[in-house]
Amino acid sequence: MAAVLDSVRAFFAHSIFTIDAENAGDVVARETLLDRAMGPNRRRKSSEKIRRGRVPAEGLALVARDRDGHVIGTVRLWNVEAGGNADGTAIDALLLGPLAVDSSFEGKGVGSALMRAAMLEAKTRGHGAILLVGDAPYYERFGFFAAKAQHLVMPGPFERSRFLALELVEGWLEGAAGMIVPTGRMLASAPVRRAA
């Protein structure tokens, strides 16, 4: 992680922002940014079902900071199983989201930098594919396409044309079919379900 972020930091050394690992002190700023960028209904999304009560994939919660260190962008990725292949073997993958950038920094490359840093870090960590639900015209520039996710379904309502995937390892999603299921570690504070 450190090596990838060091190279990303060096790349943005003269920029108005940097990409960094999220830390515990960023949580309030990140949530405020997400409320502003995505509105109050953001927690009703099907993707949220996969994230709820879980921690992001190791090393894959990133923020963008302005020169004063304030959080101006966020992206996180989550461990999932992307259905199974023809012989029923489960396929590990990542679900990306939410991605958001402070409106006063939009159009300055912050979102792209977060996406590229996340994709590089995920590949470095040996992940095979990333899925997301989002605007295809934005995500296609990073190599995300609906065709790769055509036989996969989210656990709840979703628009097929917005359900996109990127293979970090060629052929990783070959034959992938079925439901996206969260596999990430539970938050320590997540409510425990008790048997009746």
Q: Which residues bind ligand COA (CB under 6 A)?
A: 37-38, 99-101, 106-112, 134-135, 137-138
CB of 72 to ligand COA, least distance (A): 9
Closest chain position to ligand COA (CB):
111
Residue 78 or 91: which CB sits closer to ligand COA? 78
Q: Could you give the CA distance from residue 14 to residue 53 in angstroms, rounded to a whole number?
A: 38
CB atoms within 10 A of CB 46: 15
Q: Could you give the CA distance from residue 118 to residue 116 in angstroms, rounded to a whole number?
A: 5
Residue 112 or 150: which CB sits closer to ligand COA? 112
CB of 64 to ligand COA, least distance (A): 8
Report how far Cα 28 is from the mean position of its chain's Cα atoms.
18
Supply φ then ψ for residue 65, to 5 degrees. Answer: -120, 145
CB of 136 to ligand COA, least distance (A): 8
Residue 50 or 101: which CB sits closer to ligand COA? 101
Q: Could you give the CA distance from residue 57 to residue 65 in angstroms, rounded to a whole number?
A: 21
Residue 144 or 172: which CB sits closer to ligand COA? 144
CB of 111 to ligand COA, least distance (A): 3
Picking from 63, 50, 196, the residue whose alpha carbon sits closest to that of residue 131 is: 50
